[in-house]
């Protein structure tokens, strides 16, 4: 799919040869958390060592597809307790650095959802209490050096936004799964802040787990180019509908026929948004450890 400043590929982030050259200025993503969520095309209940291996593979690919001085904002939980307690935030942060991403900062996302908790463990007893974290992490990495020297050099962040968002505690609510139609959406405000804080106008923003296209919508709405990968064809269709509704609804005759670049296409022949991405090849990926049988 190519529409405005947005391009969407229906393919797997595990395919290392998917893009010919580095293209991403800023990657924003929230990968599967391995919590046995009922995604259409992803096995979200891998043995933990396999999940970490999967993480290493896709992070290495994203590193290769990022430009020199590219940045990477990773939204992940602090920890998980299904099927057992794991320090997933620390583990994924370590893996990112293992594949040569350099660590810059951690933003704490306060989701304001502690009132929804149902699990207490041993109620009012030290026997086995259950501690629930109402926050998630947004871990920020970079490639090469932190200071950006390429691109337009144009920032569109206001004084008040800069002061507020460089405080590493962000409070915002979650997104409705029912409203969006996806089992794990994040709010539009999250990528909007990251885009304005960590990228220049006209930069290319990439989401390798595109889902319902929230990152791509935020990119389009804020004067950036958006590139997304999504392995599931039905979520690609959902993303296409959201992009049309939230980015192009003011057009007199909205388009509904634009194509999604899919795994069977071979060389992508859609009109892409960047000369580098025009040379990208879309190949059938080995998805044996990524797709539910």
- Going by C-alpha positions, the residue among 32, 28, 26 that lies closest to residue 14 is 32
> Residue 74: inside a domain, yes or no?
yes
- Within 8 A by CB and 6+ apart from 162, the residues are 197
Residue 71, SS3 per DSSP: strand
Share of residues in the chain with pLDDT > 70 (%): 74
> Residue 292: inside a domain, yes or no?
no
Of 274 and 228, more confident: 228
- Cα separation of the two ends of the chain: 26
Give 48's Cβ-side CA count (13 Å radius): 12
> Residue 249: inside a domain, yes or no?
yes
> Residue 60: inside a domain, yes or no?
yes
Q: Which domain holds residue 194?
A: 2-114+130-278
- Over residues 61-72, the mean pLDDT reads 97
Residue 292, SS3 per DSSP: coil
- Going by C-alpha positions, the residue among 229, 219, 236 that lies closest to residue 181 is 236
Of 164 and 259, more confident: 164
pLDDT at 267: 27
Q: Is the pLDDT of residue 30 over 80?
A: yes
> Residue 286: inside a domain, yes or no?
no
Give 23's Cβ-side CA count (13 Å radius): 24
> Residue 24: inside a domain, yes or no?
yes
> Residue 122: inside a domain, yes or no?
no
Residue 109, SS3 per DSSP: strand
Angle at which helices 88-98 and 48-65 pack, to 10 degrees? Answer: 40
pLDDT at 41: 61
pLDDT at 175: 58
> Residue 293: inside a domain, yes or no?
no
- pLDDT tens track for 209-260: 998 899 999 999 999 999 999 888 888 888 888 888 878 776 554 454 444 4
- pLDDT tens track for 166-213: 999 999 887 565 666 565 678 899 999 999 999 999 999 999 999 889
- pLDDT tens track for 86-102: 899 999 999 999 999 99
Q: How far apart are CA 197 and CA 218, in angstroms?
A: 13
- Going by C-alpha positions, the residue among 67, 41, 70, 46 that lies closest to residue 56 is 46
Write down the pTM of the prediction: 0.83
Contact 218, 243 (CB under 8 A): no
Q: Is the pLDDT of residue 285 over 50?
A: no
Q: In what helix (H) or strand (E) does residue 144 lie, and over which residues does it extend?
A: none
- Residue 258: CATH number of its domain: 3.40.50.150
Contact 152, 203 (CB under 8 A): yes
Number of domains in the chain: 1
């Amino acid at each position: 799919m190519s529409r405005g400043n947005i391009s969407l590929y229906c393919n797997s982030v595990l395919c290392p040869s998917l893009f010919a050259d580095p293209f991403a200025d800023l990657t924003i993503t929230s990968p599967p958390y391995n919590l046995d969520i009922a995604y259409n095309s992803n096995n979200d209940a891998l043995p933990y060592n396999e999940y970490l291996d999967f993480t290493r593979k896709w992070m290495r690919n994203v590193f290769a597809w990022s430009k020199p001085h590219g940045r990477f904002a990773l939204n992940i939980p602090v920890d998980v307790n299904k099927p057992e307690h794991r320090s997933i935030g620390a583990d994924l942060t370590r893996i990112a650095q293992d594949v040569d991403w350099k660590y810059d900062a951690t933003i704490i996302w306060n989701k304001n959802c502690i009132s929804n908790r149902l699990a207490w463990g041993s109620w009012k007893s030290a026997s086995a209490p259950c501690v629930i974290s109402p926050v998630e992490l947004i871990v920020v990495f970079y490639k090469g050096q932190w200071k950006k020297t390429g691109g337009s050099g144009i920032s569109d962040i206001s004084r008040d936004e800069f002061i507020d968002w460089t405080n590493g505690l962000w409070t915002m609510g979650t997104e409705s799964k029912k409203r969006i139609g996806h089992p794990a959406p994040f709010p539009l405000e999250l990528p909007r802040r990251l885009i304005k804080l960590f990228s220049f106008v006209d930069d290319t923003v990439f989401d390798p787990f595109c889902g319902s296209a929230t990152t791509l919508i935020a990119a389009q709405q804020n004067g950036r180019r958006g590139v997304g990968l999504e392995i599931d064809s039905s979520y690609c269709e959902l993303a296409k509908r959201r992009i049309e509704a939230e980015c192009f609804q003011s057009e007199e005759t909205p388009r509904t026929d634009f194509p999604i670049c899919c795994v069977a296409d071979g060389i992508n022949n859609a009109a892409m948004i960047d000369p580098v991405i025009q040379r990208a090849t879309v190949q059938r990926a080995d998805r044996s450890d990524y797709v539910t049988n």
